Structure 1
Amino acid sequence: MAKKKILSTAIVLIAAFNAFAQGNGAAGITKATDMVTGYFDPATKLIYAIGAVVGLIGGVKVYGKFSSGDPDTSKTAASWFGACVFLIVAATILRSFFL
Structure 2
Amino acid sequence: MFQKVKRGMKRLYALPKKMQLLAFMLLSGSVAMAQNSAGDYSAGTNALSSVAEEIAKYVPIMVKLCYAIAGVVAIVGAISVYIAMNNEEQDVKKKMMMVVGACIFLIAAAKALPLFFGIAA
- TM-score, length of structure 1 as denominator length: 0.72
* Greater relative contact order, per chain length (Cα 8 Å cut-off, separation 6+): 1
Q: Letter of the aligned partner of 2:104 in structure 1? A: V
Give 2:61's aligned residue.
42
How far apart, in 2, do the equivalents of 1:77 and 1:23 lie? 53
Map of 1:69-80 to 2, 5 A cutoff? 69-80=88-99
Consecutive unaligned residues of structure 1, counting only runs of 5 or more, are: 1-19
The correspondence for 2:103, drawn from 84, 88, 96, is: 84
- Judging by fraction of residues, say which structure has more helix: 1
Map of 1:5-44 to 2, 5 A cutoff? 24-25=42-43, 26-44=45-63
Structure 1 range deviating more: 26-35 or 85-94? 26-35
Equivalent pairs counted in the alignment come to 81
Consecutive unaligned residues of structure 2, counting only runs of 5 or more, are: 1-37
Kindly indicate whether residue 112 of structure 2 is the aligned counterpart of residue 93 of structure 1: yes
- TM-score, length of structure 2 as denominator length: 0.60
How far apart, in 2, do the equivalents of 1:96 and 1:34 lie? 15
